[in-house]
């Protein structure tokens, strides 16, 4: 089953963009993280992007760095991330993409990582620091095992390179709306519309936009341009602001989701 393709096609038919939510797996602990994922999916998330905790998350701003640190300090490992995916699969068939770094894939071995991710029920990998020129083995193994590889496109990526990236990608492409790391921003980049248009000229692959999106108006504006909208730090902040109180975390997430999808 290609959950990613089915989800994008269904939303396209319904005339709405996919809502992609990022949270760090295991933040602040395994059981709370499971309930966070359940709450997000029940509240309207179409695609769940699970961050795999890593000690050197170079693409992440402070909010998501601290989330990874909390998860690691509470015993989260790659094996427990896979276990979390398995638990989510008990109540949801929504697409799950693992947002990870290549060190974690390499340490386990590409083939072993791909097979375990797919066995657990993951649908895709977004390996932040792996360019397509270095990803041939991982892409081949993923395609053989039915796992999608999502690649990032930056505002500075020229159109000929967009085409090269699209050749290696499956599922969808992820456009970083602005230069820099993850984190809440007050406004959208001025170059967003032109950047999306350039990608559209280069490839018909579904396109999501992330990094810095945190308000309902931003979700609407991005959704009018792209096939999907990614919200991360604004959701992670709901966890950070209510540490020690699981019910408060879940209530904050419900309120934030209702606000974003209003």
Rg of the chain in Å (alpha carbons): 17
Q: Can you list the positions of beta strands (E) in 31-93?
A: 47-51
Active-site residue 227, yes or no?
A: no
- Candidates 27, 46, 49, 170; catalytic one: 49
Neighbours of 144 (CB within 10 A): 12
- Candidates 27, 46, 60, 123; catalytic one: 60
CA gap 76, 93 in Å, rounded: 23
Active-site residue 60, yes or no?
A: yes
3-state secondary structure of 75: coil
User: Among candidates 239, 229, 261, which has minimal Cα distance to 21?
Assistant: 229
Inter-helix orientation angle 233-240/30-42, to 10°: 130
CA gap 148, 194 in Å, rounded: 27
Catalytic residue numbers, as ranges: 49, 60
């Amino acid at each position: 089953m290609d959950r990613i393709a089915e989800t994008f096609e269904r939303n396209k038919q319904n005339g709405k963009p996919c809502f992609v939510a990022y949270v760090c797996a295991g933040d602040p602990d395994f059981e709370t993280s499971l309930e966070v994922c359940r709450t997000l999916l029940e509240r309207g998330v179409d695609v769940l992007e699970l961050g795999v905790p890593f000690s050197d998350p170079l693409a992440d701003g402070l909010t998501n760095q601290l989330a990874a640190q909390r998860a690691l300090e509470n015993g989260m490992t790659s094996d427990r991330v896979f276990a979390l995916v398995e638990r989510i699969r008990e109540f949801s068939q929504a697409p799950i993409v693992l947002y990870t770094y290549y060190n974690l894939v390499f340490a386990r071995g590409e083939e072993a990582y791909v097979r375990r991710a797919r066995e657990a029920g993951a649908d895709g990998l977004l390996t932040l620091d792996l360019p397509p020129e270095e990803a041939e083995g991982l892409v081949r193994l993923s395609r053989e095992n039915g796992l999608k590889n999502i690649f990032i496109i930056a505002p500075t990526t020229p159109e000929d390179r967009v085409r090269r990236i699209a050749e290696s990608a499956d599922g969808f492409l992820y456009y970083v709306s602005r230069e820099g790391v993850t984190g809440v921003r007050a406004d959208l980049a001025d170059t967003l519309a032109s950047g999306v248009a350039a990608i559209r000229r280069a490839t018909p692959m579904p396109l999501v936009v992330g990094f810095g999106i945190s308000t309902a108006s931003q979700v609407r504006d991005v959704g009018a341009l792209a096939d999907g909208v990614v919200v991360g730090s604004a959701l992670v902040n709901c966890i950070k602001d209510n540490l020690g109180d699981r019910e408060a975390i879940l209530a904050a997430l419900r309120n934030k989701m209702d606000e974003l999808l209003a």
